[in-house]
Amino acid sequence: MKESFVKTKNYTRLLESFTRLEKLPTSAPRMGLGFGNFGLGKTFSLERIAAQKNAILLRAAQTWSKKTVLERLCIELGLDTQGGSGRMYERILDELRREDRIIIVDEIDALLRSDKTSVLEMFRDIHDETSTVLYMIGMEEADAKLQRHRHYYSRVVEFVKFERIGRADIEAYCELSEVKIEDDLLDHFVAYFPNLRQIKVLILRIENACEINNVESVNLKKFEELGVAHGIKKESSASKH
Amino acid sequence: MALKKNRPRPSTKQKVWDFMRRNRAFRAGDVMMILDVNKHFLMPIFRALELAGYLELESGSETFNDRHYKLLKNTGIRSPSVLKKPCDIVRDLNTGEELILDGKHPVQIADKLKLLHAMKYDCMYRERIAVIADIHLYSAKTIRYLEEFTELEIMQRKPRSNCSDRRMFTIHHDKREALIRELEDKGSV
């Protein structure tokens, strides 16, 4: 499989959302929320955007405390981690007031629990004090969970819901395959495997099987003969995310 | 609020380092795909960082893209500077340390000793040596140091047998033990 980034519809929407937030005046709220199920390209999209925009990308964990977050932010901003939380917080504010850095918090679900509200609130304080763009990414339920924090939610001005992977994206992904994926198999993928992780595994298995069997092109019949879909759960074409 | 200044755009090497720090365990092909870099750019960096003990090859095959690496030393936000000439040199801008990888660096001596101690039988495949030394067969360390041992005639290729595509090596224990002694002396100094 060729190593090339597929600019999926979800990725493009997320990138545009970041760009819109960056363009907002610093007097306006600059928070965004991306949410959706696994396998829709969230992590790879974020990694690419973080690299492009030189953003600070943090992955929230259940074990996070205010202090661990402040230490992480200090490290990422190249600041001293000495002193207590108050000093680190002030250093971070000073730095973010001077330099424009986007902060992305992936797996925000870990902070949307009642015992993590103080950590979540700290991010809001940093955003309010510095006008830094803060983008949160979580699972499908993150939107509903964040709505409970009404004062927080009111600051979120960009929403991106990661949608089910469409035909154009799957087609672009299949074009990276070393083996030709024929139209009826593509339709099958669109109907039953609208998930990038699953498609990737399937294509890699198809490539391996085709190398062994000296096959250059695969249609639905051949795909079923090869038996490469074992262990991958089919999704009903009717169930839309 | 005063206008904020934009940070200068990071170099591609810096982006690779940032990616490694964020992910700790990653696939080479994913780095290439996400950062739009090719293997000719990535391989020398990975080789030097592996030899210097910053990276470890965890699994993979002959195909570079499929290799999974683990970042062992996250020393800070600044990407190490990697020079290829006169030999691999890793300059850590976070710690100020400079690792000249000319084969005499303590990190390299330790890895060479691991491989030499693993070569305890009279005839061995490279695969067997790597397994005993607990260093991946396709690691830059295995490739580089076993090549060096072959040049020093510690290992000698045996003619390829018809039934195996693997290459068997005769181990010359006198030369092997002499090198172990020399390296252990250097290591203790």
Contact A99 B5 (CB under 8 A): yes
Query: Exposure of A210 by Cβ count < 10 A (0-12 exposed, 13-18 middle, 19+ buried)?
Result: buried
Half-sphere exposure of B123 (CA within 13 A, CB side): 6
Distance between CA B164 and CA B128 in Å, rounded? 14
**pLDDT grade for B79, boundaries at 50, 70 and 90:** very high
Mutation for A interface: B33, B43, B94, most A CBs within 10 A: B33
Interface residue A47 vs chain B (CB under 8 A): yes
- pLDDT at residue A240, as a whole number: 46
State the pLDDT at residue B60.
84
Nearest CA to B5 out of A100, A52, A54 is that of: A100
Half-sphere exposure of A128 (CA within 13 A, CB side): 10
Q: Is the pLDDT of residue A86 over 70?
A: yes
Q: How far is CA A197 from CA A39, A43, A226, B54, B55, in A?
A: 5, 11, 19, 29, 26
Mutating which of B18, B68, B74 best tests the A interface, going by the most A Cβ atoms within 10 A? B18
Q: Can you give the pLDDT at residue B164?
A: 67
pLDDT value of position B119:
97
Q: How far is B57 from chain A (nearest CA, A)?
A: 19
Q: Is the pLDDT of residue A233 over 90?
A: no
Place of tokens 């003969």: A225
Closest CB from A5, A48, A75 relative to B77: A75
The pLDDT value given to residue A140 = 93
Which residue in B7, B29, B78 is closest to A54 by CB distance?
B7
A97 and B77 in contact by Cβ < 8 A? no
Q: What single string gives the DSSP state of each residue in chain A?
A: --------HHHHHHHHHHHHHHHS-TTS--EEEEE--TTSSHHHHHHHHHHHHT-EEEE--TT--HHHHHHHHHHHTT----S-HHHHHHHHHHHHHHEE--EEEESGGGGSSGGGHHHHHHHHHHHHHH---EEEEE-TTHHHHHHTSHHHHTTEEEEEEPPPP-HHHHHHHHTTSSSEEPHHHHHHHHHH---HHHHHHHHHHHHHHHHHHT--EE-HHHHHHHT--TTPPP--TT---
In angstroms, the CA B3 to CA A195 distance is 42
- Which residue of B lies nearest to A49 if distances are taken between CA atoms? B34
- Mind listing the pLDDT tens digit for each residue in B41-51? 999 999 999 99
Query: Distance between CA atoms of B154 and B149, rounded to whole angstroms?
Result: 5
Which residue is associated with the tokens 């960056």? A22
Q: Is A163 on the interface with B (CB under 8 A)?
A: no
Q: d(Cα B158, Cα A59) in Å, to the nearest integer? A: 51
Question: Does pLDDT of B150 surpass 80?
Answer: yes
Question: How many Cβ contacts (< 8 angstroms) between chains A and B?
Answer: 54
Cross-chain CB nearest to A54 (options B10, B32, B35): B10
CA distance B15 to chain A (A): 6
Contact yes or no for A44 and B34 at CB 8 A: yes
Global pTM value: 0.89
What percent of chain A is predicted at pLDDT more than 70? Answer: 98
The pLDDT confidence band at residue A238, using thresholds 50, 70 and 90, is very low
DSSP B64: G
Q: Please tell me if residue A179 touches chain B, with a CB cutoff of 8 Å.
A: no
3-state SS, residue B36: coil
Pick the range with the lowest mean pLDDT from A116-120, A212-216, B83-87.
B83-87
Model pLDDT for residues A4-61, shown as the tens digit of each residue: 999 999 999 999 999 999 999 999 999 999 999 988 989 999 999 999 999 999 999 9
Q: Do A26 and B22 touch (CB under 8 A)?
A: no
Average pLDDT over all residues of chain A: 93
Cβ contact A97–B2 (<8 Å) = yes
- If you measure CA to CA, which chain A residue comes closest to B5? A99
- As a dihedral over the C-alpha atoms of residue A217, residue A221, residue A224, residue A225, rounded to 10 degrees, the angle is -80
Task: Report ipTM (2 d.p.).
Answer: 0.88
Give the pLDDT of residue B114.
Answer: 97
A170: which 2 tokens?
Answer: 């799957």
**Sequence-ordered alpha helix ranges (H) in chain B:** 12-23, 28-35, 39-51, 106-118, 126-133, 140-151, 173-188
Q: Which residue has the tokens 């096959």?
A: A215
| Cα separation values, B183 from A24, A172, B107, B129, Å | 62, 53, 11, 18
